[in-house]
Structure 1
Amino acid sequence: MAEASAHQQDVSDCILEPLSLPESPGREPVPVQDLSLPCMFCAQIYREAEKDTLLKHMIIQHKLVVADVKLIANFRSYALYWKKRFSEHPITEFCSVIRTNSEAPEDQQENYFLLCDVLPEDRVLREELQQERLRTVLEQQQHERSDSSFQRLCMFCNEEFKGNRSILFNHMNEEHSFNVGLADNLVYCNEFLDLLQRKLDNLQCLYCEKSFRDKNTLKDHMRKKQHRRIKAKNQEYDRFYIINYLELGKSWEEVQSEDDRELGDNNEEDWSDWEEHPVFAVCLFCEKQEDSTENLLSHMKDIHQFDLHKIKVQLGLKFYQQVKLVNFIRRQIHQCRCHGCQEKFQSKTELITHMEKENHISVLPERSVWDQPQYYFPTYENDSLLCNLSDSEEELTAHNEEIPVIGEDLSRLEALRQTSVLNQLVCNNILRQ
């Protein structure tokens, strides 16, 4: 019980999301500037915020309609490109002509020009701008992921957090049940939090967008209605999730709902270019890697005196119980804590030295400590050992006593059948007929 209590009390260093290998920090993000937008035909200039005014100007003054403007990643670059092209060649070489009032006299008819991605040149331009934006967004995301200077107050309790942004999001998820997904999937994090904070300051629910008279009423509403989340279909939040930048013209819903079977029209299966890459499993206690689970289990048994197979048989562990045990040990080792005595160390080297000296590697705490739902989730998202754990029932039953099978008393079952309500109803129906 003492071990379990110590484990539950120390929650300051808990892990709420899978770990991954460290990545090289990205370059400093390029600050976004309010660049001017040029008209594609004249010298008129508009601000970035006046894009709709520019589009209206080009329709009225120059009869140009740009299709799917919202899908253009960088409208300024797009406008500059076509401004140059229209100065070199007639617009009719690029645009479809739409004639209005076709039944009216010729002097009353007007021609409008449609610029869209049906034109291969326009399609290529849009895709290149999309790729350029994706590179910029990924650089920004990588900078935010590796930034240790993040500092911000929690929106719900005003507790201040410093360091990596994931600390704040994990706190809001754990303490306030407010979950916006993994922090690593977000970009422009400060703008995202600013938007949420403005809504709360305006006494507005983050999910249903309703406004309330005071903060307590808003808090009660969000708690009772389980509105401590954002609405996935609210496109206002799309720019803060990296999935919305992956493919041109596709939202996160469309990307997730794609069926890989629709990607190929050729029904012939050709696997000639398939290349098998070995997957290495990593030891629980050192950096040793093996290309098979059997070799890794042998290594841990011979070098660290940790026999996972023996533990599985003795405790009668099924597959998911083995998963929880492995994830528990992984997490303890990551946190430099001995899973045998719960003592904490400054480094992994000190921890392993202690465990080998005290023979604590093969000592497991009470089952209630590690057999918890939280350990269904991998400590390391690329932990291939989890995929190759044995799930053979024969190994378990071979080490357990045979359970005798006692035959049922058929005479008793027959008596129950004769006195059952269902049987009486059937008999009554037969007599009525």
Structure 2
Amino acid sequence: MHCSLPPGWRVSNSSGSWSAPIQQEHYDIVNIAEDEGLDPEDLRPDSPGWEDMEDDAEELSIKCLFCEERCSSFDLFDDHQIAVHQFDLRQTCRQNSLDFYATVKLINYIRSSIAAGNMTPDYSDPELWQNERFFKPVLEDDALVTCLFDVDDLLAPDEEDMEVVMSTPNDSEGSGHKDAARRAVV
């Protein structure tokens, strides 16, 4: 005797195995086109009219922290900062264990200092940029701030992330994964 199973479920036991059919919604481009009153051929990228479409991706333009130079990638920006201004944002972030928010405050602190005429801001003491006013952007749509998450090894890992990675010699293998899963469920 087979009980009804939810769609896609499979049961196996000593009596055999059975599965419920997978429930699929066949709602593809043809259905979408018909619902919108369009010919499905109109939705193909090689159909007439698509050649006028512009790519939404904008070219990255990161303004230097200290001068008017603009760079098309973080790596070029970083190279420029080090070569011309002897400032290494990666190293500063690592030395001070800066997370995203602290890095944003550092960037805005330097940008506001330069805008105020201080061409050599002191960034050696993190207390200088801890003020909440440095959350306010100096540049509207600052490309440097928007690309922070995409830069490897720039931001300090969150403490929660560190808890999962760290283990003691008495931990069984995989216990970090169990802790992460437990934390995700709670």
Which residue matches 1:282? 63
TM-score by length of 2: 0.52
Which residue matches 1:306? 87
Which residue matches 1:20? none
How has the CA–CA distance of structure 1 residues 266 and 371 changed in structure 2, closer, same or farther, with 3 Å as cutoff?
Answer: farther
Specify which structure has the bigger relative contact order, considering alpha-carbon pairs within 8 angstroms and separated by 6 or more residues: 2
- Deviation, 1:373, is 2.3
Q: Does 1:389 align with 2:148?
A: yes
- Deviation, 1:314, is 1.4
Q: Does 1:405 align with 2:168?
A: yes
Q: What are the within-5 Å matches in structure 2 for residues 347-362 of structure 1? A: 351=119, 355=120
SS at match of 1:379: coil
- Deviation, 1:327, is 0.7
Asked if structure 1 preserves the Cα contact closer than 8 Å seen for 2:100 and 2:155, the reply is: no
Asked if structure 1 preserves the Cα contact closer than 8 Å seen for 2:82 and 2:88, the reply is: yes
- Deviation, 1:293, is 1.6
Structure 1 residues 126-168: Cα deviation after superposition (integer angstroms, max 9, x where no partner): xxxxxxxxxxxxxxxxxxxxxxxxxxxxxxxxxxxxxxxxxxx
Q: Does 1:377 align with 2:158?
A: no
Measured in 2, the distance between the counterparts of 1:394 and 1:378 equals 19
Structure 1 residues 196-255: Cα deviation after superposition (integer angstroms, max 9, x where no partner): xxxxxxxxxxxxxxxxxxxxxxxxxxxxxxxxxxxxxxxxxxxxxxxxxxxxxxxxxxxx
SS at match of 1:285: coil
- Deviation, 1:291, is 1.2
Which residue matches 1:364? 123
- Counterpart of 2:168, as a letter, is V
Aligned counterpart in structure 1 of residue 75 of structure 2, from 272, 275, 294 = 294
Larger Cα Rg: Structure 1 or Structure 2? 1
SS at match of 1:327: helix
- Deviation, 1:405, is 2.8
Measured in 2, the distance between the counterparts of 1:267 and 1:367 equals 60
Which residue matches 1:253? none
Q: What are the within-5 Å matches in structure 2 for residues 181-192 of structure 1? A: none
Asked if structure 1 preserves the Cα contact closer than 8 Å seen for 2:94 and 2:154, the reply is: no
How has the CA–CA distance of structure 1 residues 395 and 284 changed in structure 2, closer, same or farther, with 3 Å as cutoff?
Answer: closer
Question: CA-atom RMSD, angstroms?
Answer: 3.4
How has the CA–CA distance of structure 1 residues 377 and 406 changed in structure 2, closer, same or farther, with 3 Å as cutoff?
Answer: farther
Q: Does 1:315 align with 2:74?
A: no
Measured in 2, the distance between the counterparts of 1:284 and 1:323 equals 12
- Counterpart of 1:304, as a letter, is H
- Deviation, 1:277, is 3.4
Structure 1 residues 345-374: Cα deviation after superposition (integer angstroms, max 9, x where no partner): xxxxxx3xxx3xxxxx6x414222212322
Unaligned runs of 5+ in 2: 1-34, 172-186
Asked if structure 1 preserves the Cα contact closer than 8 Å seen for 2:96 and 2:126, the reply is: no
- Deviation, 1:316, is 1.4
Measured in 2, the distance between the counterparts of 1:395 and 1:294 equals 15
Quote the sequence identity (%): 25
Structure 1 residues 253-308: Cα deviation after superposition (integer angstroms, max 9, x where no partner): xxxxxxxxxxxx95997774132431311101111011112111110111110000
Q: What are the within-5 Å matches in structure 2 for residues 3-152 of structure 1? A: none
Which residue matches 1:120? none
Measured in 2, the distance between the counterparts of 1:278 and 1:308 equals 22
Measured in 1, the distance between the counterparts of 2:109 and 2:145 equals 12
TM-score by length of 1: 0.24
Measured in 2, the distance between the counterparts of 1:370 and 1:396 equals 17
Asked if structure 1 preserves the Cα contact closer than 8 Å seen for 2:81 and 2:87, the reply is: yes
Pairs aligned (count): 119
Deviation >6 Å, runs of 4+: 267-271
How has the CA–CA distance of structure 1 residues 301 and 267 changed in structure 2, closer, same or farther, with 3 Å as cutoff?
Answer: farther
SS at match of 1:295: helix
Measured in 1, the distance between the counterparts of 2:100 and 2:155 equals 12
- Counterpart of 2:146, as a letter, is C
- Counterpart of 2:54, as a letter, is W
Q: Does 1:331 align with 2:112?
A: yes
